[in-house]
Chains A and B, each alone.
Chain A
Amino acid sequence: MQTQQRGAVIVVRPEGPLTVAEADGFRSRVSELIRENLGRVVVDASGLPYVDSRGLESLAEVAQELATTGKGLKVCAANDTIRQVLDLTGLSPHFEHFEDANAAVRSFL
């Protein structure tokens, strides 16, 4: 999982599918970054081919954590598969979607 500092924002880019094997690590790492960076975190989904149910759960948990601070989880460059999964599971409204990382970073302005 790569992280890029863009201005005051951290862009997290998981590589490969987000499944039961990676979900807990992803969840704890993103939570840690949210705390360290006062919530200025973007999840770049361009490296995510697909997510399984546990991966979805971890994304939803992070979104829920941010929701208690009045913010949404910003996700960028999600492919059609992931967008469809989020729509079908009704989780889509819990995320803020952006085309690319720059657009997501600019939304913090």
Chain B
Amino acid sequence: MIEILVYPDERLKQVARPVERFDKDLRTFVVELEETMRAGPSCVGLAATQVGNPQRIAIVDVSIKPKIKSHGRILLINPEITARDGVVVGREGCMSVPDYTGNVIRAERISLTTCDLNGERKLYQLEGFEARAVQHEIDHLDGMLFLDRLVSRRDDLFRRKTYK
């Protein structure tokens, strides 16, 4: 179990660097990151940034939610979103931002490429809640929190044009 950083910790604003060595240290860290993620009640993702490791690593697993399409555990190492389609508003919270949830606009469908533990690229087509989780975690790797993307309830329909 690794301690999870809580905003306003400055390290959450850091942009993470790409993983270069696919070695034993990486495998050990991924195991610890996953243990920490699974210990959080209803937590569906965790980024290395959130535990003070500034490398582009995260894990997503939305399979604990019933009735939601899922690829099971998705390991994100040097992940890249190569295509986005559609926009949708959904509610998000974060292990690094206790006692607050808010509405955030995300792409509805994404194409994702990510490395496995051996550095091999894999391609995923994701949608809905699972796509949202991946976008939330990649934001962490770019030093962004869902707080940076909040929309108010009343603005939901009008902010779409400014989505970046």
* A and B associate: no
Q: B residues near A, CB below 8 A?
A: none
Q: A residues near B, CB below 8 A?
A: none
